[in-house]
Structure 1
Amino acid sequence: MNKVSNYESYEIKISRSRFLVHLCYVEELQEAKDFISKISKAHPTANHNCWAYAVGKQGEYAHSSDNGEPSGTAGKPMLNVLLKHKLTNIVAVITRYFGGVKLGIRGLIDAYGGTLDEAILLNGIEELVDYKKLEITTSYGFKDILAHRLGKFELASIETTYASDVNVTISIKETLLDELKQYLDELQNAGKISFKQIKE
């Protein structure tokens, strides 16, 4: 799954109507609903505040609304854009100030879907990566060997603290976790280290 790199607003005029795109990163459904409410209150004189969101590890909580536009012409095209780019943990609201020219069904679908697509591409898309943390305890005599061997893994971060033993806290992509744990199991069985996964 992916996420948007930035969440800058975007505005475009289509046939004298103003379309304002508002984007926000969210992790909970309530956050998405709160953002929709916030934007709607900020634009009380707008003709429509149409929205779509995808929330969850795989974007499994997805919903949209036409907010008064003809059925299927606003929210669904917006949601389709989110799904096309495999985005999750995002809510998008498009505020429309009607300019006096009717766009028709096809025109509305293109306006809402196309405007959101442009806004997302301008803000950029990046992979949404889950990281897991592990805490490793080892001896002073083995710490340099451990550091060298850990260097072969693609770690996001590594933090070392020194006490009676050496404690190393590392962060790694979830997709690489099993491979690393298999290697650490071998070291643990050999009595070189002990380790545990930190639940966040």
Structure 2
Amino acid sequence: MISVILWYNASMSERESYKVLISNGTGEIVEKKSRFIAGVYKVETVEEAEAKIAEVSKKYWDARHNCYAFVIGENSEITRCSDNGEPSGTAGKPILEVIKGSGVTNVLVIVTRYFGGVLLGTGGLVRAYTQAAQAGLSDCEIGEMVFSQKLTLKVGYNMINNVQYYLSQNEINIADSRYEADVQFDICVRDADKQRICDGLIQKCEGQIEIVEGDKGYYIL
């Protein structure tokens, strides 16, 4: 079987990886009788974030404050935050700093405060909003989007075990399998590892493999 490998160079500006939410999360803390309820949501546009903020503000219409921050974009290029009536810099900015510290993008964190009758002061507010945001993020499942290459491996039935063993040894998941005249496995590999993986597969299959490139992009491996 002829080995066919089609290569092209990726842009040097591409990030190797970034973190995203796989599932939303919630968290809550109580500080001197004030309740701080955090909601963490996956968003991909400013419009989507604004719609979620409006939805949560309507849900918690009787709360004193609904403060938020969000980060959007593969390079975290869009950031916004709001204190929503709290003293300047005591709510939105601390929430934003928690998001930045987590390395997650395409994420919105809203912290709702029900006032408990005791003033917390600026330092107390910063700590409370920080802890609430951290509690919400810790409840989320977070995945890593890796700049990767989709590959389709085509082999004869006599090479199935060779391919599966090599992929297992290199901790590469099979995204899809098709058993027809030949066997086809779809995989994704880190762009930086592509040449090494292809060379290894060709060697493992003694040249009896065809490797066809698919799309490049960000995938959770």
TM-score exceeds 0.5? yes
- Residue matched to 2:166: 149
Q: Which runs of 5+ in 1 are unaligned?
A: none
Instruction: Go from structure 1 to structure 2 and tell me whether the alpha carbon gap of 1:168 and 1:69 turns closer, same or farther (over 3 Å shift).
Output: same
- How far 1:175 moved relative to its partner? 5.5
1:128 aligns with 2:144: yes
Given that 2:38 and 2:135 are in contact with CA atoms closer than 8 Å, whether structure 1 keeps it comes out as no
The TM-score with structure 1 as length reference comes to 0.80
CA RMSD of aligned residues (A): 3.0
Confirm or deny that 1:78 pairs with 2:95: yes
Q: Which whole-Å CA distance do the structure 2 matches of 1:37 and 1:160 have between them?
A: 44
Match of 2:14 in 1: none
Q: Partners in 1 of 2:42 and 2:80 — Cα distance?
A: 15
C-alpha change, 1:192 and 1:118, in structure 2 (3 Å) is closer
Question: Which range moved further: 74-83 or 130-139?
Answer: 130-139
Answer whether contact 2:71 2:108 (CA < 8 A) is retained.
Answer: yes
SS at match of 2:132: helix
- Which 10-residue stretch deviates more, 27-36 or 14-23? 27-36
Tell me the distance in 1 between the aligned counterparts of 2:183 and 2:23: 39
Aligned residues: 198
For 1:22, the equivalent position in structure 2 comes to 39
| Paired residues for 1:83-94 under 5 Å | 83-94=100-111
Q: Does 1:171 align with 2:188?
A: yes
Q: Which moved more, 1:166-175 or 1:67-76?
A: 166-175
Partner of 2:69: 52
- Distance (whole Å) between structure 1 residues aligned to residue 21 and residue 188 of structure 2: 22
Q: 1:33 & 1:186 partners in 2: Cα distance?
A: 52
Equivalent position SS for 2:88:
coil
The alpha-carbon distance between structure 1 residues 185 and 141, as it changes in their structure 2 partners (threshold 3 A), is closer
Superposition map of 1:95-110 within 5 A: 95-110=112-127
Does the CA-based 8 Å contact 1:3-1:127 persist in structure 2?
yes
Query: Cα gap change, 1:173/1:106 in structure 2, threshold over 3 Å: closer, same or farther?
Result: same
Q: Is the 8 A contact 2:20 2:104 kept in 1?
A: yes
Per the alignment, do residues 78 and 184 of structure 1 end up closer, same or farther by CA in structure 2, a change over 3 Å counting? same
1:46 and 1:97 in contact (8 A); partners too: yes
**Contact 1:136–1:168 under 8 Å retained in 2:** yes
- The whole-number CA distance in structure 1 between the counterparts of 2:214 and 2:130 is 42
- Contact 1:4–1:120 (Cα < 8 Å) also in 2: no
Tell me the TM-score normalised to structure 2 length. Answer: 0.74
Which structure 2 residue ranges, 5 or more long, are not aligned?
1-17
SS at match of 2:169: coil
Contact kept, 8 Å, 1:50 with 1:95, in 2: the verdict is yes
Question: What is the alpha-carbon distance in structure 2 between the residues aligned to residue 23 and residue 13 of structure 1?
Answer: 18
Distance 1:8 1:125 in 2: 8
Which structure carries more relative contact order (alpha carbon 8 Å, separation 6+)?
Answer: 2
1:133-159 CA deviation, whole Å, 9 max, x = no partner?
A: 321223345444333433332212253
